[in-house]
Amino acid sequence: MMNSYIVDGHCDSLIDFVNNNRTLEESSAGGQWDIERAKRSGVALQFLAAFIETKYKPDRSLQRGLELIEGAHRFIGSHLDQVFLIQTKRDLEQIPHPSRLGVLLSVEGGEILGEDLFMLDIIFKLGVRALGLTWNQRNALATGIGEADVRQKLTHLGQDVVQRMNKLGMMVDVSHLNETGFWHVLDISKAPIAATHSCAKALCAHPRNLTDQQLRALGRHKGVVGVNFYPRFLKETGVATRNDVVRHICHIAEVAGVETVGLGSDFDGIEETPEGLGHVGDYNYLRDDLVKIGFSSQEVEQIMGRNFMRLLSNVLK
Ligand SMILES: [Zn+2]
């Protein structure tokens, strides 16, 4: 029996909660993530993303972002016996907690800031500790991977945001950022960064995935890649199994070092899942696969959660 705990760098379940589709308490129709199965699998820390959907951009990005953040606090507040919010390095010391699941609040999409740096301080005060600078589109900070012009670096505001995030103790997430922006962030960030939910481009040539060069650079900067479970990022056919997740884990470990690998399921943000890894309750099978393929128990612990914990302890204040 392995006693490794899991850190999952990304799920979109908060939207279901805020839209009153699910309570996220236990397994329910259509849901991939819930407290019950997460705890049973040994998830100790879950990044909960406030993903600002395209239909709210640009005009209502802030309203929707705040609605999701308020929803996260309502979710945590109504399950205080089972969930607690991670905001500081000291909070990390409680992980793995014997009975409660740690939650780290992240915002996916710098649109929430509009064009104002002070908004970053406001969402920090609201408990947000990670920010994806972009989703797939361009915004006032930077350019996402969905835009045709790939040469765009961060804007002046985007650079200020990264520097301010370093000061406040917030984690920069580059998962949806264009490649030019990725290199720009690495150039200016004083703290390590993460691609919380991305895969390896060498195995699947999707624009959302990272080249070996990017993976190596993340490793050099003590960053982490959370391997995404979306079949279209795992395999070009768009049909994948749990073994494809293992292949991406192995590749990133080989190219960038095992200390660079993490997990970022994207549960409840993906309409398809790999065979054998359909929900957060299936994490045990993945853990067994990693042992079987030859990772040492220490390496399995790193991949399943300790690498993300190290990154957070280097970023949070
Ligand atoms: Zn995403």
For residue 150, the CA-to-ligand 1 centroid distance in Å is: 19
- Pull the structure tokens for residue 314: 């280097």
- Residue 132, beta-bridge partner list: 108, 173
Question: Could you tell me the distance, in angstroms and rounded to a whole number, from the CA of residue 118 to the centre of ligand 1?
Answer: 24
What's the pTM value of the predicted model, to 2 decimals? 0.97
Distance 228 CA to ligand 1 centre (A): 9
- Give distance in angstroms: CA of 175 to centre of ligand 1: 7
Question: How far is the centre of ligand 1, averaged over its atoms, from the C-alpha of 268 (Å)?
Answer: 11
- 């909070």: which residue's tokens? 91
H helices of the chain, in order, are 13-18, 35-41, 61-77, 89-92, 118-125, 156-168, 179-188, 212-220, 231-234, 242-256, 283-292, 297-301, 307-315
Tokens (6 digits) for 145: 């991977």
Q: Within its chain, how far is the Cα of 37 from the centroid?
A: 19
User: Cα–Cα distance between 64 and 58 in angstroms, integer?
Assistant: 10
Mean of pLDDT over the chain: 97
For ligand 1, the distance from its centroid to the CA atom of residue 108, given in whole angstroms, is 7
Q: How many CB atoms lie within 10 A of CB 267?
A: 26
What's the pLDDT at 30?
87
Burial class (CB in 10 A: 0-12, 13-18, 19+), 187: exposed
**105-157 confidence digits (pLDDT tens):** 999 999 999 999 999 999 999 999 999 999 999 999 999 999 998 899 999 99
pLDDT surpasses 90 at 173:
yes
Ligand 1 centroid, distance to 189 Cα (angstroms): 21
* pLDDT tens figures, 42-92: 999 999 999 999 999 999 999 999 999 999 999 999 999 999 999 999 999
C-alpha 196 – ligand 1 centre gap (Å): 8
- CA 296 to ligand 1 center in whole angstroms: 30
Tokens of 129: 């500790």
CA of 199 to the centre of ligand 1 (A): 12
Helices 179-188 & 156-168 angle (0-180, nearest 10): 50
DSSP strand pairing (128-132 vs 171-173): parallel
